[in-house]
């Protein structure tokens, strides 16, 4: 490694994207599930993963150096606790997110990040000739990976951020852009008296009934298909927008909020779950998520002041921000 620490830092950053790819490959191959019962020689893993044994060895060795697997004997690997989070059906699984970060269509856009920086337009549209949501509508395999990845984040990050907010008085929460209902399922599990409406594009929300039923909360949830630029369901006393506003520029984010404002009763709350960018140079996941938005979508992450301005433009009033240091914070607004 370089002796100059500044050169060393750049060297590390130049290699960083390989780590994303390695984790994505391990997740795609389902290696962690194959190690669930204990360490196995790499030659035993090559068959079930459909890989070249030596190439797989090199991947697992590189990931062992990152604490994801451990080489317990020459060419025999076991799981570490972090590696166990790459298993599919375990509490805290992040496998679907890792698969999504390894997804070729997504990564092709990142190769063209420079295009987004030069033009301010999403590199995804430059590469694929269509916007992100239309692409997913036309590619159900990739859409399933995306929706499941959102499920990992909803359970492991957004539901945790929402614990900073007491929803015990809420009767019906409308989850606007609620995807496959993972966040609604987590909230319904936490609040036994809560009801929920999961609202998303019709072909997306079609996947929510199963998630809600599997979580044992289907009887307290409705699913509604529609377009949040047209209207959102009425009758909620809380409107949750988790990872929605960051997908859109200010004009379209305001249009969504204005539709929420039209649908909500006077006493209802708007609960936005999004990264809130802090001042200064401090590391914050939102600063990288912002680059994901720059690359894939016409969206951006925002500061608290920028959120307050969006709320004002939509006839709402920012009341408070909870969990401000988490990767995703919770901003509460009411009718102005
Ligand atoms: C980043 S995902 C967030 C999903 C979920 N709220 C969460 O936190 O995991 C954005 C969601 O917005 C939905 N969406 C995009 N355009 C939409 C539209 N015009 N109307 C309704 N939903 C839309 C997508 O289908 C997707 O489920």
Q: pLDDT tens digits, residue range 47-76? A: 999 999 999 999 999 999 999 999 999 999
Mutation test residue for ligand 1: of 200, 297, 326, the one with most atoms within 8 Å of CB? 200
Are 151 and 214 spatial neighbours (Cβ–Cβ below 8 Å)?
no
DSSP-derived secondary structure letter, 218: G
Q: What is the pLDDT of residue 1?
A: 61
* pLDDT score recorded for residue 89: 87
Domains held by the chain: number: 2
What pLDDT does 2 receive?
Answer: 64
Residue 28, CA distances (Å) to 12, 48, 239 in order: 25, 12, 35
- Please identify, by atom number, the ligand 1 atom nearest to the C-alpha of residue 175: 6
Distance from Cα 200 to the centre of ligand 1, integer Å: 6
Closest C-alpha residue for ligand 1 atom 12: 177
Q: Strand 269-274 vs strand 329-335: parallel, antiparallel, or unpaired?
A: antiparallel
Examine the domain organization and report whether 163 and 92 are in the same domain: no
SS3 of 227-275: the string is CCCCCCCCCCCEEEEECCHHHCCHHHHHHHHHHHHHHCCCCCEEEEEEC
Query: Which residue has a Cα nearest atom 18 of ligand 1?
Result: 227
Low-confidence ranges of the chain (pLDDT < 50): none
Residues 182 and 326 in one domain: yes
Burial of 30 from C-beta contacts in 10 A (0-12 / 13-18 / 19+):
middle
Q: How far is CA 10 from the centre of its chain?
A: 28
Let me know whether 74 and 213 are in one domain. no
Q: What is the CATH number of the domain that holds 92?
A: 1.10.10.10
| Domain containing residue 78 | 5-97
Q: Are residues 93 and 169 in the same domain?
A: no
d(CA 301, CA 281): 15
DSSP state of 154: I
Please tell me whether residues 169 and 93 are part of one structural domain.
no
Say what the pTM is: 0.95
* 171 lies in the same domain as 311: yes
User: Is there a single domain that holds both residue 190 and residue 306?
Assistant: yes
- Angstrom CA distances, 234 to 50, 172, 199, 292, 334, stand at 50, 10, 11, 32, 15
Pocket test for ligand 1, best of 134, 175, 201 (most atoms within 8 A of CB): 201
User: Residues lining ligand 1, CB < 6 A?
Assistant: 133, 150, 153-154, 158, 177-179, 183, 200-201, 204, 227-229, 242-244, 247
In a domain, 165, yes or no: yes
């Amino acid at each position: 490694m370089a002796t100059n620490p500044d050169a060393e830092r750049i060297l590390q950053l130049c290699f960083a994207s390989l780590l994303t790819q390695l984790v994505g490959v391990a997740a795609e191959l389902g290696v962690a599930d194959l190690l669930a019962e204990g360490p196995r020689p790499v030659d035993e893993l090559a068959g079930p993963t459909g890989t070249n044994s030596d190439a797989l060895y090199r991947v697992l060795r590189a990931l062992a150096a990152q604490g994801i697997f451990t080489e317990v004997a020459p060419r025999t690997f076991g799981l570490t606790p972090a590696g166990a989070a790459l298993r599919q059906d375990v509490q805290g699984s992040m496998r679907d997110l890792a698969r999504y970060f390894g997804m070729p269509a997504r990564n092709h856009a990142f190769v063209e990040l420079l295009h987004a920086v030069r033009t301010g337009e999403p590199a995804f549209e430059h590469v694929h000739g269509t916007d992100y949501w239309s692409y997913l509508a036309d590619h159900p395999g990739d859409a399933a990976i995306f929706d499941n990845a959102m499920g990992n984040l909803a359970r492991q990050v957004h539901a945790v951020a929402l614990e900073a907010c007491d929803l015990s008085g809420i009767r019906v929460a409308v989850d606007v852009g609620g995807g496959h209902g993972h966040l609604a399922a987590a909230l319904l599990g936490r609040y036994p008296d809560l009801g929920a409406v999961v609202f998303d594009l019709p072909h997306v929300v079609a996947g929510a009934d199963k998630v809600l039923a599997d979580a044992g909360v289907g009887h307290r949830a409705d699913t509604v298909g529609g377009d949040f630029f047209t209207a959102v369901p009425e009758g909620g006393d809380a409107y949750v927008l988790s990872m929605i506003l960051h997908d859109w520029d200010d004009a379209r984010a305001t249009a969504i909020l204005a539709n929420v404002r039209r649908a909500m009763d006077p006493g209802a709350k708007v609960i936005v779950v999004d990264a809130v960018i802090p001042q200064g140079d401090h590391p914050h996941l939102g600063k990288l998520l912002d680059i994901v938005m720059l690359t894939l979508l016409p969206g951006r992450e925002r500061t608290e002041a920028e959120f307050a301005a969006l709320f004002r433009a939509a006839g709402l009033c920012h009341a408070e921000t909870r969990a401000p240091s988490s990767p995703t914070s919770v901003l509460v607004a009411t009718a102005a």
